[in-house]
């Protein structure tokens, strides 16, 4: 009897080992696309994979859990706050809305073509048959939508709750400085944020709001928040690299075009797939619809499409070339100068309400991304040393490999960097520290030994100073082949001034994010 039990036990163990071995063999033989899908985190929420079109509330808490923030001593007090934020969720631009109307025409043509060829339409999703653009007939675009207003309003409330002692002074425009670009969605974001920040502190309406000032600079001269507009060397680089980026993306779009055409029976083109991917992002982010355009793609394909967007942001706005972020040096200098003024005010023991406590800025992804790069965020290993030497980094790895650089983390709608200056009088080595928060979470600074709580002098020495060997004009100047005559130069300047004034409120085709 005992022998039989032992034999049964051995047989069960052998059977289990055989089953595990068979499963491993099966996984190795499965198509690579399926294996990639297994690596994608489950459950797969497409709203977290929309690159820079991601809505803030969906992605703001996607953080690296392996990083342990510093414990800030109770004796340390925040004395100044810098905020650099992107505008909130916005409507598509006029150019993109026209693209969606062209997509509707293309989809109808594809279905008619399939009918003429007497192909089965059983695998074509029902919504495709009579789809029309949600923005059809709309003549204006790019504005901040209600979801975007909520993002900034709520952010203002949370920041006030996080730093109550710093933000409890009576409002004055010199104490709480609010700046935005002249693009309406940025200034509207500033207004929504300040309404949250100062809610209940005034006498206007049931919410007891109060009036506040938002200052803007002309697009043609805004070196702090729209440095990308006037940096000619950056414009030249971007124009030269855009075709190369499209080439990098083509194999992915070709692969997905082939796969989607095979599944549906419709002869999709690469442009169709590009437009459907854009529609997926807009539906998921703006309308919370994830079962139409996004439903055409499987998680593996969505992860690859996200990567193509992240790749574009990396090359054309991020670490792809040093000019991308070095042109943001005026902004970093302005941040440091504001902190130095705060230190001076604190040392002189000036009365509260007589000096600036916060400098709050609202701009675009083209502002937030370079600023994040100047701080050295989203780097791994020795990459920060390469940045200091102005050497190129490798491109973000393709899925299913994991990567630190994701547009949904780097610059989602309402994405932001906060630099909080602390006074720590009990500390012997340094009395002032800078804490950096990205999307409200402390993040490590490679230039400060991967700490999020950096001595102010170290912050200036290791993060600001390495970039100071160039200035904005030296970085952005392009040598002219021939110097124009003085009269011609004056005439060109006059035309430029007139054009800038005339187009101040118009939307460019090369729309900033």
Which H helix or E strand runs over 277? helix 270-286
Is residue 504 included in any domain, yes or no?
Answer: no
Say if residue 481's pLDDT is above 50.
no
SS3 419: strand
Tens-digit pLDDT profile for residues 414-468 = 999 999 999 999 887 899 999 999 999 999 999 999 999 999 999 999 999 998 8
Of 76-90, 150-164, 200-214, the least confident: 200-214
Helix (H) or strand (E) holding 436: strand 432-438
Please write the tens of the pLDDT for every residue from 258-277: 999 999 999 999 999 999 99
Q: Residue 496 pLDDT more than 50?
A: no
- Residue 345: how many other CB atoms lie within 10 Å: 18
Question: Residue 199 in 3-state DSSP?
Answer: coil
Q: Tell me which residue of 301, 243, 244 sits closest to 273, measured CA to CA.
A: 301
Q: Is the pLDDT of residue 338 over 90?
A: yes
pLDDT over 70 at 278, yes or no: yes
Asked if the structure places residue 297 within a domain, the reply is no
**CA separation for the pair 103, 116 (Å, rounded):** 20
Predicted local distance difference test score (pLDDT) of residue 480:
53
Q: Is 288 contained in some domain?
A: no
Q: What are phi and psi of 508, to 5 degrees?
A: -75, 155
Which CATH number do you get for residue 377?
3.40.50.1240
Per-residue pLDDT reduced to its tens digit, 36-69:
333 344 589 999 999 999 999 999 999 888 899 9
Least confident of 244-248, 306-310, 377-381, 505-509: 505-509
Number of domains in the chain: 1
Pairing of strands 215-216, 176-180: parallel
In a domain, 37, yes or no: no
End-to-end Cα distance, the chain: 76
In a domain, 373, yes or no: yes
My answer on whether omega of the bond before 43 falls inside 30° of 0, hence cis, is yes
Give residue 85's pLDDT. Answer: 98
User: How far is residue 236 CA from its own chain's centroid?
Assistant: 23
Q: What are phi and psi of 246, to 5 degrees?
A: -60, -35
Statement: residue 221 has pLDDT above 80: yes
Establish if 432 belongs to a structural domain: yes
Question: Do 290 and 46 form a contact (C-beta atoms < 8 A)?
Answer: yes
Q: Please, what's the b/e burial string for 113-123 (b: 16 or more CB within 10 A of its CB; e: otherwise)?
A: ebeeeebeeee
Residue 372 has pLDDT above 90, yes or no: yes
Rg of the chain over Cα atoms, rounded to whole angstroms, equals 27
Residues in the chain: 513
- Model pLDDT, residue 478: 85
Residue 330 included in any domain:
yes
Confidence label for 511 from pLDDT (cuts 50, 70 and 90): low
Q: Which residues does 20 contact at the CB level (< 8 Å), separation at least 6?
A: none
Over range 227-255, report the average pLDDT.
Answer: 97
Predicted confidence at residue 5, as pLDDT, reads 43
Residue 486 is predicted with a pLDDT of: 42
Of all residues in the chain, the percent with pLDDT exceeding 90 is 78
**Which is more confident, 320 or 15?**
320
Q: What is the rounded average pLDDT of the residues 239-264? A: 97
Torsions phi, psi for 393 (to 5 deg): -100, 160
pLDDT band at 469 (very low <50, low <70, confident <90, very high): confident
Q: Which two tokens stand for residue 494?
A: 């006059």
* 109-163 pLDDT tens trace: 999 999 999 999 999 999 999 999 999 999 999 999 999 999 999 999 999 999 9
Q: CA 501, CA 11: separation in Å to the nearest integer?
A: 85
Cα→Cα distances 219→216, 481, 505, Å: 9, 27, 10
Phi, psi of 202 (to 5 degrees): -130, -155
Could you tell me if residue 341 is inside a domain? yes
Average predicted confidence (pLDDT) for the chain: 88
| pLDDT one-digit tens code per residue, 383-429 | 998 988 888 899 999 999 999 999 999 999 999 999 999 999 988 78
Which residue range forms the structural domain that includes residue 327?
A: 65-83+143-230+315-393+409-474
Q: Is the pLDDT of residue 3 over 60?
A: no
DSSP state of 171: P
């Amino acid at each position: 009897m005992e022998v039989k039990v032992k034999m049964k036990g051995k047989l069960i163990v052998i059977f289990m080992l055989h089953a595990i071995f068979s499963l491993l063999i099966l996984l190795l033989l499965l198509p690579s696309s399926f294996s990639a899908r297994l690596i994608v985190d489950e459950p797969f929420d497409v709203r977290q994979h929309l690159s820079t079109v991601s809505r803030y509330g969906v992605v703001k808490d996607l953080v690296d859990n392996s990083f342990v923030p510093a414990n800030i001593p109770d004796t340390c007090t925040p004395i100044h706050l810098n905020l650099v934020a992107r505008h909130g969720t916005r409507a598509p631009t006029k150019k993109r809305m026209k693209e969606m109307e062209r997509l509707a025409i293309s989809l109808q043509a594809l279905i008619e073509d399939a009918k003429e060829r007497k192909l089965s339409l059983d695998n074509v999703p029902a919504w495709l048959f009579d789809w029309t653009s949600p923005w059809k007939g709309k003549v204006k675009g790019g504005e901040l939508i209600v979801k975007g207003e909520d993002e900034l309003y709520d952010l203002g409330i949370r920041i006030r709750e996080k730093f109550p002692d710093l933000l409890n002074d009576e409002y004055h425009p010199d104490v709480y400085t609010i700046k935005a670009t002249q693009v309406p969605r940025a200034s509207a974001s500033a207004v929504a944020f300040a309404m949250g920040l100062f809610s209940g502190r005034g006498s206007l309406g049931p919410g007891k709001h109060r009036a506040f000032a938002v200052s803007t600079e002309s697009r043609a001269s805004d070196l702090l928040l729209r440095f990308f507009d006037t940096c000619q060397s950056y414009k030249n680089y971007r124009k030269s690299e855009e075709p190369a980026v499209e080439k990098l993306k083509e194999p992915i779009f070709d692969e997905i075009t082939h796969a989607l055409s095979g599944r549906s029976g419709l002869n999709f083109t690469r442009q169709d797939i590009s437009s459907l991917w854009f529609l997926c992002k807009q539906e998921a982010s703006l309308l919370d619809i994830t079962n139409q355009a996004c439903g055409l793609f499987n998680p593996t394909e969505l992860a690859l499409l996200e990567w193509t967007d992240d790749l574009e942001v990396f090359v054309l706005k991020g670490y792809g070339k040093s000019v991308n972020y070095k042109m943001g040096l005026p902004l970093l200098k302005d941040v440091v100068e504001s902190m130095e003024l705060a230190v001076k005010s604190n040392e002189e023991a000036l009365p509260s309400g007589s000096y600036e406590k916060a400098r709050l800025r609202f701009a675009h992804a083209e502002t937030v991304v370079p600023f994040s790069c100047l701080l050295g965020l989203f780097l791994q290993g020795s990459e920060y040393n390469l940045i200091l030497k102005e050497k190129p980094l490798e491109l973000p790895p393709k899925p299913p490999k994991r990567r630190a650089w994701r547009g949904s983390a780097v610059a989602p709608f309402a994405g932001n960097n906060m630099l909080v200056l602390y006074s720590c009088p009990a500390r012997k080595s340094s009395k002032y520290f800078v804490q950096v928060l990205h999307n409200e979470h402390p993040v490590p600074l490679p230039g400060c030994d991967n700490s999020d709580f950096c001595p102010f002098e170290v912050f200036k020495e290791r993060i600001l100073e390495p970039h100071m060997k160039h200035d904005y004009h030296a970085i952005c100047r392009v040598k002219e082949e021939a110097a124009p005559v003085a009269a011609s130069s004056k005439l060109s300047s006059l035309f430029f001034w007139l054009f800038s004034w005339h187009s101040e409120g118009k939307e460019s085709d090369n729309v900033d994010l």
